[in-house]
Amino acid sequence: MVAVNEVGGSIDDTVQRAQSGDVDAFESLYRVHAPAVYALCRRMIGDEVRARELMQDVFVRAWERLTTFRGQSSLGTWLHRLAVNVVLAHLRTSKRDALRLIETDDAQIAGRSAHAQLDARMDLESALLKLPVGARTVLVLYDVHGYSHDEIAQMTGIAAGTARAQLWRARRALTRLLSP
Amino acid sequence: MIADGTLAPDRTTVVDAHLRACGECASDVARLRTLVSTLRGAPLPAAAVDAEWPAIRARIDQAKMITIADAGASEMAAPRASVFRQYGWLGGIAAAAILTWVALPRLTTRHDDAASSARRDSVRVLSAASDSARLYEEEAQQLLNQLELRRSMLRPEAAASLDHDLRVIDSAIAEVKDAIARDPYNPTLRQMLALSYRHKLDALRRVGNAG
């Protein structure tokens, strides 16, 4: 059963039951969406254990905020948006990562030692992690998860033009890291 | 856009013509196409998501227990945040109604209208202050997240200056919060907290607008 709400979105029965406090219904939603949310956290963070912890945080927060979901986007998009916010908040509070985000730029990527570049070529995942967080976020959302620039703009709060610029920047840097 | 096939058809024709004549650009595009294809074809990292559910369920249940325990522990408690989260605006109204329904008879039986009025005002003030702080913090977090996405595009000195300003403001917020914890009904402290939050939002918006 699908209900149409006051803003024109539709919310299916399982989501409605979860919104009314049914944890079993929420578990069903978790089993459908957890793999994609985990993949997003893992690609943005790199570390498997940390990614699992963040995925837990995303779903605990999703449970707390589920009543704010109005069906204007799909639940998957809503969860991805939440996941992006959780991951960015985590990166911000992590001193080590925060420093790297401030310091990393294209020149540094290009100027890495041959040894570091070789390592990066060997592993797409580690190459992704060498990108600045803004560029990495847009690249993961666009190229890996298939969101459009407009959707990314909506999820992250940046302009669609900024998302395009970040994608171009990320691809250029990644090509350098992965090229022989 | 040519690399991922999202370029408009009329422009694709023009670009294709150039690529046929320019080996360097053709090579660049070929590399990009390989990259895009690799990214789109790469398997998503998999996790045993079933194994994570018990921990999530435990955290959800724990939050419920804490909410109930807190609500029972203090009749002066403001409406719990989790109630708002659970039921949204409807929960807010319901919580306010329950608070009034529970608190009012107890207060009126004391035949002390002045005291009960003061007490209801205090609850209202604390509740409003708590909600305001939460809203400020949520908006600030949203702006901070947007800033992180743009950070690598900022001039290093602008980023360093902002970080310094934020550290000073956050320190001020923490100090005012400590003072409010010791003196929760002091209106001057609440005004100072609101002012500090507004400074933080202004600083973040300025950078956002400049970007």
What pLDDT, on the 0 to 100 scale, is given for residue B105?
Answer: 40
Name the fold adopted by A106-178. Arc Repressor Mutant, subunit A (1.10.10)
Average pLDDT, stretch A55-78? 91
Which residue has 């002390």 as its token pair? B112
Nearest CB to B85 within list A26, A67, A144: A67
Please state, in angstroms and rounded to a whole number, the distance separating the CA atoms of residues A83 and A59. Answer: 9
What pLDDT, on the 0 to 100 scale, is given for residue A33?
Answer: 94
Look at residue A74 and tell me whether its pLDDT is greater than 70. yes
Residue B154 CB neighbour total at 10 angstroms: 17
Could you report the predicted ipTM of this complex, rounded to two decimals? 0.73
What pLDDT, on the 0 to 100 scale, is given for residue A57?
Answer: 94
For chain B, say whether A30 makes contact (Cβ under 8 Å): yes
For chain B, say whether A178 makes contact (Cβ under 8 Å): yes
What pLDDT, on the 0 to 100 scale, is given for residue A35?
Answer: 93
CA A106 to chain centre: 21
**Contacts with B52 from chain A: Cβ below 8 Å:** 34, 52, 55-56
Lowest-confidence pick of A44-48, A113-117, A134-138, B130-134: A113-117
Which site among A40, A57, A60, A142 would you substitute to test the B interface, given the most B Cβ atoms closer than 10 Å to its Cβ? A60
* More reliable by pLDDT, B25 or A116: B25
**Contacts with A157 from chain B: Cβ below 8 Å:** 142, 145-146, 149
Q: Which residues of B28-58 are buried (b: 16+ CB within 10 A; e: fewer)?
A: bbebbeebbeebeeeeebebebeebbeebbe
Task: Give how far A142 is from chain B: nearest CA, Å.
Answer: 9
Look at residue A122 and tell me whether its pLDDT is greater than 70. no
Task: Give how far B141 is from chain A: nearest CA, Å.
Answer: 8
Nearest CB to B85 within list A27, A59, A65: A65
Q: How far is CA A176 from CA A45, A120, A173, B32, in A?
A: 21, 10, 5, 10
Residue of A130, A83, A84 whose CA lies nearest to B146: A84
**Contacts with A26 from chain B: Cβ below 8 Å:** 60
What pLDDT, on the 0 to 100 scale, is given for residue B110?
Answer: 43
The pLDDT tens digits for A145-163 are: 888 898 888 888 888 898 8
Domain ranges of chain A: 3-93, 106-178
Mean pLDDT of chain A: 79
What pLDDT, on the 0 to 100 scale, is given for residue A29?
Answer: 95
For chain B, say whether A28 makes contact (Cβ under 8 Å): no
* Smallest CA–CA distance from A25 into chain B, residue: B57
What pLDDT, on the 0 to 100 scale, is given for residue B19?
Answer: 79
For chain B, say whether A36 makes contact (Cβ under 8 Å): yes
From first to last of its 211 residues, what are the pLDDT tens digits of chain B? 666 777 777 777 777 778 778 888 887 787 777 778 777 777 777 777 888 999 999 988 876 654 434 443 443 333 334 333 333 333 333 343 333 334 434 433 444 455 555 555 555 555 566 667 777 788 888 888 888 887 877 788 888 888 888 888 888 888 888 888 777 777 778 778 888 888 888 888 877 776 5
**Contacts with A147 from chain B: Cβ below 8 Å:** none
**CATH code linked to domain A3-93:** 1.10.1740.10
* More reliable by pLDDT, B25 or A62: A62
Look at residue A110 and tell me whether its pLDDT is greater than 60. no
